Structure 1
C-alpha cells in the first residue's frame, strides 16, 4: 500500500484495480472490526459477571453436557436470587450437584432429578444483566422459542431434551447427561481422523441436521465442540440453544455475534437471514477440522478469522486428499448456492464409508 506521499500524488478517481485490491478489502475489514467491537463489549460485560462466580468460564455451552471423566465435586447449593449462578431448579425437584460450565447465555448444571431418580444436565438460560423490563421480556421470549425448538427435535444423534421449565426469571432445559467427549477433544488426543471415520461422523451429523431443517430449525453453531463422541463411536449433536425457527422473529440483541468465527458461514457473519446452508457450512468446517486437525480458516484474532472467512479461500487440505478434500472445500463456498445439496453431500460421504 503506498505511503502518504503516494496517496497525495494519486489523481482523483482511483482506478478499478485499485478499488478492487485496496478499498473493498479495507471496507470489509472495517465492517468486521465494528462487529467484533460489539461482540467484545458484550463479552466484557459477561466477564464482569463471571468474575463474581469464577469456577468455570467457557465459550461453548455444549461441551459441559458431556460427562467429564473426572470426579464430581458437590459445590455449595446456589442461592435463590436472580443473578448468574442463582437457581431454584423448579421448587426442589432437581438437586444441583455441580456447575459444569458457564457461557454467554447462562449456566450448565449436573443435577439429580429427585422424582425420576436420575442425573441430568440442565441448561439454565439467563437474560443478560442490565436489560430493561421490555428487553428482558423479549429475551425470555427468545429463550422459550429456542427451548421449544430443541424440545421438538427427537433424533438418535441429537441430545435428548426431557423437559422445559420456567424457574424465576430463567428458562431451564432439562437434557440427558451424555457420557462422551467432544469431537474437538477427540482430535486433540488422536490427531486427524481417518477418512472413513470422518465420513461416518458427517453422515450422522447430516441425518440430525436434515431432520432439524425439516422442522424449520437452524442450529447456527455447528462446530467440533458441539459434537459429542461416545465410546461406541456414535455422535450426538448438542447445543441447539441458539437455534431458532426460520419463521420466528429475530430477537438477537443488536450487534451481538452468535457463533464461533472459524465455523460461521460468510452470510452469518454479515448478519443475513439464517438458512440450512449455514449449517452445511458449519458441517463442512467441522469435518475439515476432523480430517486435517486444524480449522479451515485461521488468524491471530477473531477479527482476522472473520475477515478470512469473508474474503480468503479455505486452507488447502493436506490430509483429507481426494475426494473427501474436494467435498469439504465445496461445502465452504462463499455463496450458499455453490454449496452441494443435502442429497449430493450424502452421496459423496456414503462413497467413503461402508454404508450403502
Structure 2
C-alpha cells in the first residue's frame, strides 16, 4: 500500500496490501502523526477524489456497541453540523472492522499549518496576525453556535490555505483521545503551551478555553515565541501556566499597538470568567486592521513553496552536471516532532513509500506518465503539487534516463514553468537555458550523425 512504509510506528494503523479502508478509501501517503493518530492522504475510490484519512489510534478497542463508539458518533455528527469555510469539512466517519480504531474522512486542504508558517516567518506582520486571528474567531463562533468546542486549539490545528483562508481542524477529537488516555493511564492529553489553565487542572473546558487558545496563538504570531518560552519539559510548562500565566504583552511597547497586546492579555487570563467571549467586540478590533493580511499570508506561503522549488531545481542541476546516484535518504520524509500532532496542511514532499515506488518503476514510460501528471497539475493551477512531484521526477530522470533524454528535458521544462508561476523568474530562466542547451546540443549531434551516415 502506498504510504504505508512511511508510517513508522503507525504502519500497523492500516490494513496490509492493497485493501481499501471500508472498501472505499486507499491511503496514498503519510501526512502527519501525533498523539491522537495518523493522517494519510487517501483516494476515495467511489467519488474519485483525494481526501484526508485520519486514524484515531488514541481511541482503541472501539466496538459499535460501546460507550466510546457512541461518543465518537456524537462528536462526528456535531462536527458535521458545522457549515463554515473556516472549519474543515467532515465527509465520513467509520470504524475498520476488526481493528478497533475509528477513522475520520475529511476535506484535504492545500497550504500549511500556522505552526509551520511560524517556523518559516518567525513573526507575522500586524495585518497577517489580525487576518489569522479573525479567521480563528469566526470559525470558533460557528462551532460554538453548533454546540461544538475545539478543546485543543494550537498552531498545528490552524491551517492557512494557498488562497489565504484560515481553516481549523480536530474539533472535539481531544475529548475522545483524552477520555481514552485517562481511562488507560490517568493522564490528560493536550498541549500545555496552548492549553487553558482550567483544562490543565483537569476541569472540563468550556467556551472560554477555546478563546484562551486563540490568545496563545496570537502571542506566538506577534512575538515569534512560545507562550511559556522554549521549555521542553511538560512539568516546567505546566508550572508556568498555573503560576504566572502567559507573560503580559501590554507591558512591551515593541510588541504592537496597545489594543492588540491588551486583547492578547485578556484572552490569556488564567481565570476563564475574565476572558472576552464577545465575538462582535473581538471582530471590531481585528477586522479594521486585517486589511492586506490575507495577501500577506498568501505571499508568505508562496515564498516558502517558491524557495523549496528553487532548492529542488538547484539540487537537480548538480545531478545534471555530474549525474551521481540520487540521494534518496537525504530526500526522505522528516519525522514529525514528538507531540507536534498530525499536520495535513503541510504534507511531506517525499515519503519512503513514494521513493520506493518511483525508484522501482522509473522507466522511460513511467517517468513520462509522471511528467504528464505533473503537467496536468500545472494546467489545473496546482503548481505546488506539480513542483513537489517534479522535484522527485527530475533527479530520478537525470540519474536513470540521462540528461539528454526527452522525458528528462520535458520534466525540467515543466519544473521551470512551476518556478516561473511561483515567482522565481531568474531561476526559471536559468533552468530553461540549461534545457535549451541540451536540446540544441542533441540536435547538433543528430545532424552530425546523419552527415556521417
Between 146-155 and 273-282, report the one with greater CA deviation: 146-155
Output the CA distance in 2 between the equivalents of 1:270 and 1:353.
35
- Output one character per residue of 1:168-210: Cα deviation in whole Å (capped at 9) or x when no partner: 1232211111011111111111221111211111111111101
Equivalent residues in 2 for 1:228-267, closer than 5 Å: 228-242=159-173, 253-254=182-183, 255-267=186-198
Question: CA contact under 8 A between 2:148 and 2:172: conserved in structure 1?
Answer: no
Gaps of 5+ in 2: 293-453
The yes-or-no answer on 1:309 pairing with 2:241 is: yes
Which residue number in structure 1 is paired with residue 153 of structure 2?
222
CA RMSD of aligned residues (A): 3.0
- Output one character per residue of 1:270-325: Cα deviation in whole Å (capped at 9) or x when no partner: 11122110000000001111111112223341111111111114224342342211
- Which one has a larger percent helix, Structure 1 or Structure 2? 2
1:178 aligned to 83, 99, 109, which one?
109
Gaps of 5+ in 1: 1-51, 59-77
2:86 aligned to 157, 179, 190, which one?
157
Question: CA contact under 8 A between 1:145 and 1:244: conserved in structure 2?
Answer: no
**Residue 186 and residue 127 in structure 1: after superposition, are their counterparts in 2 closer, same or farther (change >3 A)?**
closer
- Output one character per residue of 1:220-268: Cα deviation in whole Å (capped at 9) or x when no partner: 11111111112222111111252559xxxx6662423122111000101
Equivalent residues in 2 for 1:1-356, closer than 5 Å: 55-56=7-8, 84-86=13-15, 89-126=20-57, 137-168=66-97, 169-242=100-173, 253-254=182-183, 255-298=186-229, 299-317=231-249, 318-342=254-278, 343-354=280-291
| Paired residue secondary structure (1:188) | helix
| Paired residue secondary structure (1:109) | strand
TM-score by length of 1: 0.70
Output the CA distance in 2 between the equivalents of 1:109 and 1:252.
23
If you compute each CA radius of gyration, which structure gives the higher value, 1 or 2?
2
Segments ≥4 residues shifted beyond 6 Å: 133-136
Output the CA distance in 2 between the equivalents of 1:217 and 1:175.
17
Cα deviation, residue 85, structure 1: 3.3
Which residue number in structure 1 is paired with residue 370 of structure 2?
none
Output the CA distance in 2 between the equivalents of 1:86 and 1:256.
29
Cα deviation, residue 54, structure 1: 7.2
**Residue 153 and residue 135 in structure 1: after superposition, are their counterparts in 2 closer, same or farther (change >3 A)?**
closer
Between 181-190 and 94-103, report the one with greater CA deviation: 94-103
TM-score by length of 2: 0.55
Between 95-104 and 193-202, report the one with greater CA deviation: 95-104
Question: CA contact under 8 A between 1:126 and 1:170: conserved in structure 2?
Answer: yes
Question: CA contact under 8 A between 1:144 and 1:171: conserved in structure 2?
Answer: no
- Output one character per residue of 1:40-84: Cα deviation in whole Å (capped at 9) or x when no partner: xxxxxxxxxxxx9873579xxxxxxxxxxxxxxxxxxx7xxxx53
- Output one character per residue of 1:71-112: Cα deviation in whole Å (capped at 9) or x when no partner: xxxxxxx7xxxx533375444311121122233333211111
Output the CA distance in 1 between the equivalents of 2:175 and 2:242.
24
